Chain A
């Protein structure tokens, strides 16, 4: 129990510290690396409460894919952070307001203030109990029964976002030579090589 508490405080402290470093550090590459550290420790926290599936998915999706793309973009672009920082004071009240709203929502969701949110209650009632079943199976049973439509809608939203991203970046540039793999593969010896009899002193 002591070990678990120690692990919790370690993960929680590193998560918060690296979250702060994401905002504070001057080099955007460091920011992304601290973001990755924060994701990692959040995954550790999930493992501690017994949600190993969520922890692994967090690492696979956010650390393994999303953060890699962040890192790509940040490394390739020459971002001037000082310029981004100029509006810091201007946007501070807006940022603080959003943070406060998020904190209140979170406290309400877990039931610290007010009554427990209806979704949490429904989840506790509907869900197969975690003690009797491993949580990958529990999530699957909930997602594909009770929350089936929400799950499908989430998938549709992602699909729309993907198509949107493709439409935004797709442009046809004239004069680009492409590798046509089909044509390359269908070339045969007959249309690639021709044996020429060159007369001496005549050239081709």
Chain B
């Protein structure tokens, strides 16, 4: 019986389809739960920073708050402004949500636990994350509202600027690994936390994290949604489910960038000490802990730092991060070449 089922799943096209579907569900469902609880953790962390309690009414410790919020959003009426471009107005949040989800196809959760173990995994992630900007810019244009449009322009300019430095950060890591495959990136950092890349590439790790904040429009770079000037930026005209999709997409993007950060710099699913197990389920545990740590830093910055001014933001991206990361690419290449550490592919 068992053999028959296994054979069907492995060789019949329908069985293979079912397996792929189950794999996708196994990634997306925990991801969406993580997104829901990320909103809860965010509010709890800010609450603690501001000496408040945060959500504590719905369910024990307020644990059911995210579901209450989700339900509330779902039951609201979807309003499409009469002057908006109907089709694009509804496509925009779908693009944001979809790009945040499909990127997870190449993220390795444990040794070999990945939906698509492709050779150009890093480039795929970079390509998909560069698509997120379309959701924003289309939303801003289709809303046909000044606030939304200005917010979208700011956001798009910001995302495009900081992508450049993220690109250079990726290149330095690639130089050290010698492969574009994300599983190889993790394997290259095997053997305890002192082998992880955040130590030799510390400046790049900092640049990566700050750029990730800018990519996801989080404080101190949340200019696209600065309430005092632009109401809610490109989301101003959105309500109900389309708004919820934007919201989910943004949080999923944050988790994605944290995951990428932990793969590139914190050893992905590797255990912090060499004698600890990091196979199968253990790998998922270490990976989740690292992501949770980076997400905590996301909330922490939001609770601590004031907002940047627009010109300061652009100056930081183009005049500080770009030259520094470019210099670091050249330096890393030189050190690898002349130190004899060029990875053999």
Contacts and interface: CB of A to CB of B under 8 A. Distances in A.
Given A53-B123, A136-B119, A60 B130 contact: yes
Interface string B223-242: 00000000000000000000
A48 interface: no
Interface in A118-175: 134, 136-137
B119 A68 contact: no
B20 to A, nearest CB: 12
Contacts of A63: 127, 130-131
Interface in A35-90: 36, 52-53, 56-57, 59-60, 63-65, 68-69, 71-72, 75-76
B14 interface: no
Interface stretch (B64-72, B133-141, B194-202): B133-141
Nearest to B157: A72
Interface string B87-125: 010000000000000000000000000000011100110
A115 interface: no
Interface residues of A, number: 24
Interface residues of B, number: 26
B345 A137 contact: yes
A109 interface: no
Contacts of B312: 179, 181
Given A136-B180, A137-B345, A181-B312, A64 B123 contact: no
Interface in A163-204: 179, 181
Nearest to A74: B141
B331 interface: no
B146 interface: no
A76 to B, nearest CB: 8
Contacts, number: 59
A136 B179 CA distance: 9
A45 B149 CA distance: 34
Contacts of B13: 3
B123 A68 contact: no
Contacts of B119: 52, 134, 136
Residue among A3, A36, A75, A76 having the largest count of chain B Cβ atoms under 10 Å: A75
B160 A56 contact: no
B311 interface: yes
A72 B141 contact: no
A29 interface: yes
Contact of B127 (A29, A60, A72, A137): A60
A63 B127 CA distance: 8
B131 A64 contact: yes
A174 B35 CA distance: 50
Given A53-B120, A60-B127, A71 B137 contact: yes
Given A52-B118, A137-B345, A64 B127 contact: yes
B315 interface: yes
Given A63-B131, A75-B141, 15 more contacts: A36-B134, A52-B120, A53-B123, A56-B124, A56-B127, A60-B126, A60-B127, A60-B130, A63-B127, A63-B130, A68-B134, A71-B134, A72-B156, A179-B311, A181-B315
6 contacts: A3-B13, A64-B127, A68-B137, A72-B156, A76-B153, A137-B345
